[in-house]
Amino acid sequence: MYAQMVDTGLKEVRTADDMPPEERAFQARIDADIKIEPKDWMPEAYRRTLIRQISQHAHSEIVGMLPEGNWVTRAPTLKRKAILMAKIQDEAGHGLYLYSAAETLGISRDQMLADLHAGRAKYSSIFNYPTLTWADIGTIGWLVDGAAIMNQIPLCRCSYGPYARAMVRICKEESFHQRQGYDIMLAMSRGTDEQQAMAKDALARWWWPSLMMFGPSDAASVHSGQSAAWKIKLLSNDELRQRFVDQTVPQADFLGLTVPDPALRWNDETGHYDFGAIDWSEFHNVIKGNGPCNRDRLQARVNAWDEGAWVREAAMAHAEKRAAGAARAVASIQQQGRTA
Ligand code: FAQ
């Protein structure tokens, strides 16, 4: 119920022979690294693919506020609370940039939110896990924001201008988020036995779900081929996952924490870490709506929408009042001009 395949009209990667002249010209611009802007001609499937990805990304930012919001009232110090609140507000801002970027493709924000609330649109699997201890907040910053940056840096160069530009600022802020998470983990892994145990337990629970954030393996990824041809995706799901593992394992070593993967080892020949098999049944189960927190997360968003109805109505009434006042002022100036 919570996630359905959005049909972007794509079954296989199109080649130049399949394309009418306008699409060939479009692909030539992509191949020449010229950005596509909202008023440019684009294939319908490109537009729908972007709406799917950008709206899923926006929903992830907004739903992603919930697991962290759970700890605002329980952050261990005033400073940690202020930092956490700033981070959560940043995530709301990221959602808004992304909804705006998607709106340039001709979908309304109300429609995107209706799709989320009805379970027609996805958001990242990672936000369906609970935040049980303060170390989970450190781990989200360290691993979840770390994975998000790894995926988003290439998106700063993607072919669609509004998405690429939104990503530049988002990546700068995510980088601060990652560091604050790592700082929490550093404090906890140098802390009391109880704090060290919490850090260890949080890494054990979040490691594998973080690797799943990058999506299915390249072999199983339905959208990757065409999205790569359109330069929406510049690196594949598996390439990004490998980069994340390579970057994160030394960070875990520095914290004195063990990554919960007995198969993890450095491979001199490839120059990368080898790692164990991901449990894809867990991933598919979570994106189908059966993760530990899917129902709570969606219900929280639906409640926020319903409870915010009076704010939207008041904002609309205020905007109408201002517009009517401005129209009256213009009419009065025009009247004065005619009588002068
Ligand atoms: N969760 O063919 P592919 C953040 C779906 S932001 C749920 O490989 P694609 C910030 C996929 O949609 C995190 N569903 O698909 C933060 C597709 O289903 P569909 C979000 C997933 O699009 C930090 C199907 O599986 N980031 O964390 C997931 O080419 C801390 C087949 O997959 C973005 O959204 C998943 N993990 O590649 C906030 C980045 N993975 O739509 C608060 C932009 C795959 O056909 C606190 N998105 N699926 O029904 C992307 O780069 C891509 O969309 C991928 C998936 C890589 C996620």
Q: Is 124 in the pocket of ligand 1 (CB under 6 A)?
A: yes
CA of 123 to the centre of ligand 1 (A): 7
Overall average pLDDT of the 321-325 stretch: 96
pLDDT for the residue 5: 37
170 neighbors 156 (Cβ within 8 angstroms): no
Q: Is 125 in the pocket of ligand 1 (CB under 6 A)?
A: yes
Overall average pLDDT of the 286-290 stretch: 96
- Under the banding of pLDDT at 50, 70 and 90, the label for residue 2 is very low
Overall average pLDDT of the 253-281 stretch: 98
Q: What is the mean pLDDT of the chain?
A: 94
CA of 340 to the centre of ligand 1 (A): 63
pLDDT for the residue 9: 44
- Name the percent of the chain lying above pLDDT 90: 92
pLDDT for the residue 12: 67
- Under the banding of pLDDT at 50, 70 and 90, the label for residue 58 is very high
Q: Is 5 in the pocket of ligand 1 (CB under 6 A)?
A: yes
CA of 214 to the centre of ligand 1 (A): 7
Q: How many CB atoms lie within 10 A of CB 105?
A: 19
Q: Which residues of 329-338 are buried (b: 16+ CB within 10 A; e: fewer)?
A: eeeeeeeeee
CA of 18 to the centre of ligand 1 (A): 28
- Name the percent of the chain lying above pLDDT 70: 96
CA of 194 to the centre of ligand 1 (A): 35
66 neighbors 130 (Cβ within 8 angstroms): no
Cβ contacts of 26 within 8 Å, gap of 6 or more = 36, 40, 41, 42, 43, 46
N-terminal to C-terminal alpha carbon distance within the chain: 67
For residue 266, the SS3 value is strand
Overall average pLDDT of the 106-130 stretch: 97
Which residue's alpha carbon is at the smallest distance from atom 22 of ligand 1? 53
pLDDT for the residue 339: 77
- Under the banding of pLDDT at 50, 70 and 90, the label for residue 337 is confident
pLDDT for the residue 18: 80
CA of 221 to the centre of ligand 1 (A): 11
Q: Is 133 in the pocket of ligand 1 (CB under 6 A)?
A: no
Q: Is 140 in the pocket of ligand 1 (CB under 6 A)?
A: yes
Q: Is 91 in the pocket of ligand 1 (CB under 6 A)?
A: yes
